[in-house]
Structure 1
Amino acid sequence: MSNIVLEFPPGFEDYAWEVEAKGWLPGVVAVIQGRRYSLTVYDPARLTQDVEDALKSGRVFLERNLVVVASVTREHIASAIQQIVQTGRVGDLQSDQG
C-alpha cells in the first residue's frame, strides 16, 4: 500500500469494536496517489438494513464512495482499498477535489 494512505476518524482505535458491531463507518479517507477520497464503509447486513429502511420510508438510498466489506475493521477496509487500486477501480471513486 505504498501509494495509499488511510485516514480514520479521530479516536477510531478507541471505538473500533463498536464500529465493527454497528457495521458502518463514515469519514474514512483514502489518499491514493495524492488524491483524497472520502469513503463510507458498510458491512452487508447493515447496508441491507439501511437500504430497506430508506425504501420503506419512501426515500432513495444514495451514498457517494460506498465501500462494502465483510466486516468493518481496519484490516478489511485496508484490504478493500488495496483491491480497488490493484484492480484499477480507483476511477469508480469520486475524489474530494471533484
Structure 2
Amino acid sequence: MSNIVLEFPPGFEDYEREVEAKGWLPGVVAVIQGHRYTLTVYDPARLTQDVHEALKGGSVFLERNLVVVAAVTRERIAAAIQEIVQTGRASDLRPDPG
C-alpha cells in the first residue's frame, strides 16, 4: 500500500469495535496517488437495511464513494482499497473537490 494512505475519522481507535457492530463508517479518507477520496464504508447487512429504509418512503438511496466490505474493520477497509487500486478501479471513485 505504498502509494495509498488511509485516514480514519478522529478517535476511530476508541470506537472501532462499535463501528464493526454497526456495519457503517462514513468519513474514511483514502489518498491514492495524491488524490483524496472521502469514502463511506458499509457491510452488506447494514447497507441492505439502509437501502430498504430509504426506499420505504418512496425515496432513493444514493451514496458517493460507497465501498462495501464483508466487515467494517480497519483490515478489511485497507484490503478493499488495495484491491480497488490493484484492479484499476480507483478511477471509479470521485475525488474530493479542491
TM (norm. structure 2) is: 0.98
Shift of 1:62: 0.1
**Corresponding residue pairs, total:** 98
CA distance in 2, matches of 1:82, 1:57: 36
State how 1:1-98 maps to structure 2 within 5 Å. 1-97=1-97
Aligned-pair identity in percent equals: 83
Q: Cα distance, 1:97 vs. partner?
A: 2.7
Show structure 1 runs of 5+ residues with no match.
none
Runs of 4+ in 1 over 4 A off after TM superposition: none
In structure 1, distance between residues paired with 2:72 and 2:57? 26
Query: Equivalents in 1 of 2:47, 2:97: separation in Å?
Result: 26
What is the TM-score when the length of structure 1 is the normalising length? Answer: 0.98
CA RMSD of aligned residues (A): 0.8
SS of equivalent residue, structure 1 residue 59: coil
Q: What SS is found at the alignment partner of 1:28? A: strand
Give SS of 1:71's match: coil
CA distance in 2, matches of 1:55, 1:74: 30
